């Protein structure tokens, strides 16, 4: 008997097996959490807002560097260590993970 850990994206809510095949389904979800696509949309919106704000300040002469003001690398911290960004109340992120126990290494 062996044991292997799998990194999950969200909190596991239910595990069930396929009736005919040797697959497991892991249902994961978190409340007040963004999905990967939603995080990217929020990041693009933030960059747009910062660019718009800086374009309204011509006296600061920041026109040429306004796109560099948002450090994208700093915003893409690993969620395993730092957690996911908090979303508004009523927002859920979820996924269904299909696990083949014979191919898990």
The answer on pLDDT for 18 being more than 70 is yes
d(CA 75, CA 32): 18
- Residue 37 has φ and ψ, to the nearest 5°, of -65, -40
Q: Are 34 and 94 in contact (CB under 8 A)?
A: no
Domain ranges of the chain: 1-33+87-105, 36-85
pLDDT, tens digit, for every residue of 23-72?
999 999 999 988 888 888 888 888 888 878 877 776 655 555 544 556 66
Write the CB contacts of 64 (distance below 8 Å, at least 6 apart in sequence). none
Residue 23 is predicted with a pLDDT of 95
Radius of gyration in angstroms for the set of CA atoms belonging to the chain, rounded to a whole number: 20
CB 34 within 8 A of CB 79: no
């Amino acid at each position: 008997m062996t044991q292997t850990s799998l990194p999950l994206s969200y909190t596991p809510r239910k595990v069930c097996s396929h009736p005919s095949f040797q697959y497991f389904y892991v249902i994961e979800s978190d409340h007040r959490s963004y999905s990967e696509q939603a995080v990217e949309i929020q990041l693009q919106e933030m960059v747009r807002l910062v660019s718009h704000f800086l374009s309204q300040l011509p006296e600061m002469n920041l026109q040429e560097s306004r796109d560099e003001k948002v450090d994208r690398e700093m915003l893409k911290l690993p969620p395993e260590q730092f957690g996911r960004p908090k979303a508004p109340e009523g927002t859920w992120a979820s996924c269904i993970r299909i696990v083949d126990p014979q191919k898990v290494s």
